[in-house]
Amino acid sequence: MALNVEASRPARARQAVIFCCDRNYYPYAMFAAAQIAGRHPDRGFDICIASLEAIEEPHSLSELAVRHCTIDAAHLFADFGLDDRRTAVTYLRLVLPDAFSEDYDRILYLDSDIYIQGGDLAALLALPLAARPLAAVRDNKQWRTPSRRMVDFDRLGLPQRPYFNSGVLLFDVPAFRAANLLQEALRIGRSQGRQLVRHDQSLLNATMLGNWAELSPSWNWQYTWSSRLFAAMLGPNIIHFIGRCKPWCDPDNLLSPQFARDLQIFLARHFPNHPPLPLGPGMRPDSLAMRRMLMKHLLSSGRLARYLERFPSDLTVGP
């Protein structure tokens, strides 16, 4: 499928890390991009921001050499049942392999609501995927209960399969395009997308239907009530703030204040017009919320340990 892409600079490598965002999420995507650039100063991959409209880059961030790309693709998702929370940019990740087929062989898509703690992204981009068109991390709902039924598979009349979170996606571009997966995703989205509970994520899972390689949860540690304390001890590479609670929107102090403090320093320097973040003290150790979270971790620890045993290293690819 031919898609018009306007880029701020040419591609410099055959691999890329790409964020898809609008103007609202752009500062947070650039924060993550800056973290990646700082950890990979001699990187052999591009860092890209993909959007549906041109976004002006702050001059202070030009040294990161981020490639800004505008993709003319909004019309593809007009019949997907969009709303204020699920806009066309939510589905932009679907078109990345086709939009960048002439530039990249491998694409690592990342959500903007993440925090980079470590990991060799060059090694991740080079992982063999056994001819699978995509690799991802299982959704946290199936970490402790791998056989949990996903409601959207039932709604679409599909058999139950392992279900991945779409916040971190490693695309094998030629394999994805050879299987015509964009066309299949658009077909499902137009005919049945309105009934999906988890929208773009379920759409991708329905399109792949088990034809994906499973990555270690270290690459997409979904920060929930039953996993966030384990993250402090296990040190995953990428923290993913799933749900509505984000470092820039945490009125009840449910997250570690570390994330908002680091983000605030970045915003104050590069996006001075951004409203200051509500920097709270964090959750009290003796609060009811903390006690409930501790109990949740205790009850889930055994099953989570069995799940993590499947990944001896962060570069282990599951079957």
Is 80 exceeded by the pLDDT of residue 192?
no
147: domain CATH number is 3.90.550.10
| CA distances in angstroms from 212 to 37, 193, 275, listed in the order given | 28, 21, 40
Tell me the per-residue pLDDT of 95-105, one tens digit each, with 9 for 90 and over.
999 999 999 99
Rounded to an integer, the average pLDDT of 39-61 is: 97
pLDDT band at 83 (very low <50, low <70, confident <90, very high): low
> Is residue 127 in some structural domain?
yes
**Tokens coding 79:** 């019949």
Give the sign of the dihedral formed by CA 93, CA 151, CA 83, CA 193.
Answer: positive
Closest CA to 219 of 235, 207, 196: 235
Alpha-helical (H) ranges within 62-193 are: 96-99, 121-125, 151-155, 173-178, 181-192
> Is residue 25 in some structural domain?
yes
> Is residue 286 in some structural domain?
no
Kindly report which listed range (34-43, 104-113, 195-204, 254-263) carries the lowest average pLDDT score: 195-204
> Is residue 269 in some structural domain?
no
Total domains, the chain: 1
Please list, in sequence order, all residues whose beta carbon lies within 8 angstroms of the beta carbon of residue 110, skipping any fewer than 6 positions away.
17, 18, 19, 32, 167, 168, 238
Q: Which domain holds residue 208?
A: 5-218
pLDDT at 102: 96
| Strands 221-222, 238-240: pairing kind | parallel
> Is residue 161 in some structural domain?
yes
Tell me the per-residue pLDDT of 200-222, one tens digit each, with 9 for 90 and over.
898 899 999 989 999 999 999 99
Global pTM reads 0.96
> Is residue 314 in some structural domain?
no
